[in-house]
Amino acid sequence: MNPTATITVEQLKERLDAGETLHLIDVREHEEVAHGMIDGAIHMPLGQVPQRLDEIPRDEEVIFICRSGYRSDQACQYLSNLGFKGATNLVGGMLAWVNLP
């Protein structure tokens, strides 16, 4: 298992506040995203990732989001094994995001 690239919620917020255009994919289930998503994120439940590979940039950074960081890390590992270069995990997921000051 290769180490996954990571980004903290503070780093992500800083980049979004700076107006950077980022690829964000939320891999939580439908009932979870009903409680809110990070602006600009695409909803792609983890189980759909293998069928939706054509929607994910292969050579650009893509930040994956879930509730706590576990499922998004799984997505990153899966994509890295397929040769995707920029799969990045949001450390702490939405639990950390909602606790940003």
* Catalytic center residues: 66
Supply φ then ψ for residue 44, to 5 degrees.
-145, 90
Query: CA torsion sign, 14 to 54 to 44 to 91?
Result: negative
> What CA–CA distance (Å, rounded) separates 52 from 49?
5
Contacts 24+ apart (CB under 8 A), 34-37: 36/94, 36/98, 37/65
